[in-house]
Amino acid sequence: MSTRAVKTVEVVYENGVFRPTSKLALPNRSRFRLTLVPVSSSSAKAERQLVTRQRKALLSLAGIARSGRRDISENPHEALYGTGRAR
């Protein structure tokens, strides 16, 4: 299994050749496996917007532990419902 990262590249198919829409820093004659997913210009924009929204949501979740509380896993019932609630 390869440890190389998977990369998504947008291409245009012209005259029997897939041509990347941006320059790629790849070795000449290197081999890849392509998965073809049609992309319209409007869906590409929608996909970028979705990725941006997901990134913001994940970054907001990453800050959840900023309170410094360490007893949540030790006392999950108390952390969720408070001390005054009976079990």
pTM of the predicted model as reported, rounded to 2 decimal places: 0.38
pLDDT in tens, 7-50: 888 888 999 999 998 998 889 998 988 888 877 766 777 888 88
At residue 13, the 3 state secondary structure works out as strand
Give me the pLDDT at residue 49, please.
86
CA-CA distance, 36 to 21, in Å (whole number)?
A: 15
The three-class DSSP label of residue 20 is strand
Q: What is the pLDDT of residue 1?
A: 45
At 16 the pLDDT is 92
Q: Which residue has the higher pLDDT, 41 or 54?
A: 54
* 32-41, long-range: CB < 8 A, 24+ apart: 39/10
Buried b (16+ CB within 10 A) or exposed e, 63-79: eeeeeeeeeeeeeeeee
